Amino acid sequence: MSEKRTLRTVRSFVRREGRLTPGQERALELLWPLYGIDDGDDLLDLDTLFERKAPIVFEIGFGNGSSLAEMAAKQPGTNFIGVEVHRPGVGHLLKLIEERQLTNLRVACTDAVELLKHRIPNSSLDRLQLYFPDPWHKKRHHKRRIIQPAFVILLTQKIKSGGHLHMATDWQHYAEQMLDDLSQNDKFINCADSTGYIPRPDYRPLTKFEQRGHRLGHGVWDLLFKRR
Domains of the chain: 17-37+45-120 (3.40.50.150), 125-228 (3.40.50.150)
Q: Is the Cβ–Cβ distance between 136 and 145 less than 8 Å? A: yes
Q: Which of 128, 156, 146, 20 minimizes the C-alpha distance to 68?
A: 128
Output the CA–CA distances (angstroms, integers) from residue 86 to 20, 32, 117, 169, 217, in the order listed: 10, 14, 20, 19, 28
Strand order in the sheet with 159-169: 105-108, 79-83, 56-60, 125-131, 159-169, 221-227, 188-190
Residues 98 and 102: their CA atoms lie apart, in Å, by: 7
Residues sharing a CB contact under 8 Å with residue 58, sequence separation 6 or more, in sequence order: 80, 81, 83, 116, 120, 125, 127, 128, 129, 158
- CB contact at 8 A, 78 and 55: yes
Q: How far apart are CA 122 and CA 75, in angstroms?
A: 23
Tens of pLDDT, residue by residue, the chain (228 residues): 344 444 445 565 555 667 899 999 999 999 999 999 999 999 999 999 999 999 999 999 999 999 999 999 999 999 999 999 999 999 999 999 999 999 999 999 999 999 999 999 999 999 999 999 999 888 886 998 999 999 999 999 999 999 999 999 999 999 999 999 999 999 999 999 999 999 999 999 998 778 887 888 889 999 999 999
The answer to whether the pTM exceeds 0.75 is yes
Indicate which residues carry an active-site annotation.
134
